[in-house]
Structure 1
Amino acid sequence: MTHTVKEIAAALGAEAFGAVDILIAGASEPAAAGPRDLALAMTPAYGDALAQGQARAAVVWPGADWQALGLDAAIIAPRARLAMARLTQTLDQPLGGDGISPHALIDPSAQIGVDVVIGPFAVIGAGAMIGAGSWIGTHVSIADGVQIGVQCQLHAGVRLQRNVTLGDRVILQPNVAIGGDGFSFVSEAPANVERARETLGDSPLAAPDDPTWHRIHSLGGVVIGDDVEVGANATVDAGTIRATRVGRGTKIDNLVQVGHNAVVGEHCLLCAQSGVAGSTVVGDRVVIGGQAGVADNLKIGNDVVLGGASVVLSNVPAGRVMMGYPATKMQTHIESYKALRRLPRLLRRFDSR
């Protein structure tokens, strides 16, 4: 599939200059671009690399002298990453498949909407509902009674357990697991972790008389809002009594864990290997950096940003930027870090006396 430079610029909401009827077959980094590629030189740092490739057209930064860069046509992108989003949407290939594979196993009571694609070896349980235009990949399993909205994409190996509801246009990348039981156990007598919380470690811990862990079953399921995306191998656990919830427009990266009973707000970003522990409430538009962790039973306000590898052990007010372990205000963390860096020098000064 090819597009003219003019068509691509219109899709980007940007201006095109020069030979706007040049046909483009794909996108490329500047140094590797061929004559039918649209080179992505959206900042001056990539300008010199255009000479190493063969691109005739490129997306360039505002103010760029595109003719001096040896181009026949250019698209001016005031906001580079937004242009990247729209460009990749325009150039991406549609998902394959047509209709329902004869190798899929679908319970007769399942309700399948119009124009649904179901790949080989998918398993659809009794009473499941799949909305119109949804795309179900190979080896996907959908438990009894699961509800899936319209135009959803479930890629290979996705697992949806009982009591799961997906909104419209939800995208689940390969091997996502939603609705597994939460990590919830209790002992006959107070366990050492409970004692540690009560004593804050002041008293020594001893082996309990009965170390058996009794399982608390997860009955609450999961509700995923519209336009949510979940990355490969991420998990969202079912709630104990009420549902675990992920709000509209939230994007969850690969290898993220959302614990049972958690509530994640709208338009949040949860980056790779981050985790939200059980019963924590995360507000709207929160960003949780990679490998950051949020302890259980906390409240994270709206518009909070948690830096990568932060560990949050207490509630966070709205609008705050947090870093470190334990997480503190960004300014406090930076001051503490600078003071720690100065500590060896100060110690040497004391030693010299």
Structure 2
Amino acid sequence: MGHTIREIAAALGAEADGNLELVVTHAAEPVAAGGDALALAMDPRYAEGLARGDARAAMLWPGADWRGLGLEAAIFVPRGRLAMAGLSRIFDPGPQIAPGVHPMALVDPSAGLGEGAAVGPFVTIGAGVRIGPGARIASHVSIAEGAEIGNDALILQGARIGARVRIGDRFICQPGAVIGADGFSFVTPEKSGVEEIRETLGDREEIRQQSWVRIHSLGSVRIGDDVEVGANSTIDRGTIRDTVVGNGTKIDNLVQVGHNVQVGQDCLLCGQVGIAGSSRIGNRVVLGGQVGVSDNIFVGDDVIAGGSTKIRTNAPAGRVILGDPAVKMETQIEIQKAMRRLPRLAATVAELQKAVSKTGQSG
């Protein structure tokens, strides 16, 4: 099944020209595009690839000379990546989950599934679960007792939804994610070495044997609407209150959100981000890959943290930060420049020391 250039342009709200009834079945890079593909060349840098491929139609930048590029039709988009969002939605067939409940799924009689739900094989749905209309649940998913999931959820293979977790509408959960596992909470009967070091910033009176006592997680997880959780990411339940993820937030693969964490709306948490317990993340915060956030701190609205940044103290709203420990990005750039000069500076200091030493000997 394909789509005409006219249909695609209408869906994207974009202008098009040429043979608008031309049918394309998929998208491709310009060099690899065949006659049935829509070549993606939304920037003039990619025009050269069109001559090396066989595309008849392409998505181009505004004002491009599509006839001069040898095309029969073109769609013009001012913002390429935004157009990609719509185009990928058009061509993505989605997972193949048969309508209804697969005979090899196990659904508790007290659970409620909304109209049009599709439940794959080896899915287990616990007592009292409520799932809204249009849900698609792939194989080997487990949803524990009392969980509530809104309309049009897509929960992919092997995901785990814990007890009493509450999730809004249009939720997307990638394979292997775990939402609602217990938080990592332990305490020692006596003051632990960690507590002592926090108070003294490194000094220890003595090293004592210590054992850990488990603090159970009595809260759960609450997730808003239009949230996506990536593969093998984990969101731990709260100790007393719920761990919270706000509307529109997108979480990449291999992200850890600790117990009691509060994440705001429309945040972007990239791969391998780790947020320690009880920290609060504001709205529209972007944490690059491998960013770490210490426990019990606040990251303000609209903060952007570059990759591998370690946030150890509160970050003011709107700040762009980088490095370990996190500082303003422009400060970190100056630090890196200074570090690159250190070998040359050390050599200069060594020469000065030799000169001073010789002067002292001659005196």
TM-score bracket relative to the smaller structure? over 0.9
Q: State the one-letter code of the partner of 1:69.
A: L
**2:167 alignment counterpart:** 166
Inter-partner Cα distance in structure 2 for 1:187 and 1:212: 6
Are 1:251 and 2:243 an aligned pair? no
1:103-252 matches, cutoff 5 A: 103-203=104-204, 205-208=206-209, 211-252=210-251
Shift in Å at residue 344 of structure 1?
Answer: 1.6
Q: How does 1:1-353 map to 2 (within 5 A)?
A: 1-96=1-96, 97-203=98-204, 205-208=206-209, 211-353=210-352
Give aligned-pair identity as a percent: 56
Distance in 2, matches of 1:69 and 1:161, equals: 54
Question: In the aligned structure 2, how far is the partner of 1:121 from the partner of 1:273?
Answer: 29
Equivalents in 2 of 1:143, 1:60: separation in Å?
48
What is the one-letter code of the residue matched to 2:348? R
Residue type of the alignment partner of 2:118: V
Matched residue, 2:358: none
1:207: Cα distance to partner? 2.5
TM-score (norm. length: structure 1): 0.98
Contact 2:121/2:140, CA 8 A, preserved across alignment: yes
Shift of 1:272: 0.4
Q: 1:205 & 1:72 partners in 2: Cα distance? A: 79
CA–CA distance in structure 2, aligned partners of residues 77 and 345 of structure 1: 50
How many residues matched? 351
Change (3 A) 1:59 1:233: same
Structure 1 residues 352 and 4, CA gap change in structure 2 (3 angstroms): same
What residue number does 2:355 align with?
Answer: none
Question: How far apart in 2 are the matches of 1:349 and 1:8?
Answer: 64
4+ runs of 1 displaced by more than 6 Å? Answer: none
2: CA distance between counterparts of 1:234 and 1:63?
43
CA shift digits 1:71-111 (9 cap, x unpaired): 11111110010000010011111432111101100111111
Unpaired segments ≥5 residues, structure 1: none
Q: Please report how far the alpha carbon of residue 204 of structure 1 lies from its aligned counterpart in structure 2 after TM superposition.
A: 5.4
Q: Which of the two has higher C-alpha Rg?
A: 2
Which one is further off, 9-18 or 265-274? 9-18
1:87 is paired with a residue whose SS is helix
Give the partner amino acid of 2:53. G
**Local SS of the residue matching 1:47:** helix
TM-aligned CA distance change 1:114 to 1:204, over 3 Å: same
What is the alpha-carbon distance in structure 1 between the residues aligned to residue 94 and residue 277 of structure 2? 37
Q: CA offsets per residue over residues 193-242 of structure 1, 9 Å max, x none?
A: 1111011013355133xx22100000100001000000000000000000
Q: Taking structure 2 as the reference length, what is the TM-score of the superposition?
A: 0.95
Residues 5-60 of structure 1: per-residue CA shift (max 9 Å, x gap): 11111111111011111101000011111101000011122111111211000011
Contact 2:219 2:241 in 1 (8 A): yes
Counterpart amino acid of residue 318 in structure 1? A
Shift of 1:63: 3.0
Task: Provide the secondary structure at the position in 1 that maps to 2:347.
Answer: helix
* Helix, strand or coil at the partner of 1:17: strand
**What is the root-mean-square deviation in Å for CA atoms of aligned residues?**
1.0
Corresponding residue SS for 1:347:
helix
C-alpha distance in 2 between matches for 1:202 and 1:128: 50
2:249·2:264 contact (CA, 8 Å) conserved in 1? Answer: yes
* Equivalent residue letter for 1:135: R
Contact map agreement 2:193 2:204 (CA 8 A) in 1: no
CA distance in 2, matches of 1:347, 1:190: 44
Q: 1:289-346: CA deviations, max 9, x gaps?
A: 0001000001010000010000000000000001000010111111111111112222
Cα distance in 2 for partners of 1:46, 1:18 equals 20
Query: How far does residue 350 in structure 1 lie from its aligned partner after superposition?
Result: 2.5
Superposition deviation, residue 348 in structure 1: 2.0
Paired letter, 2:50:
L
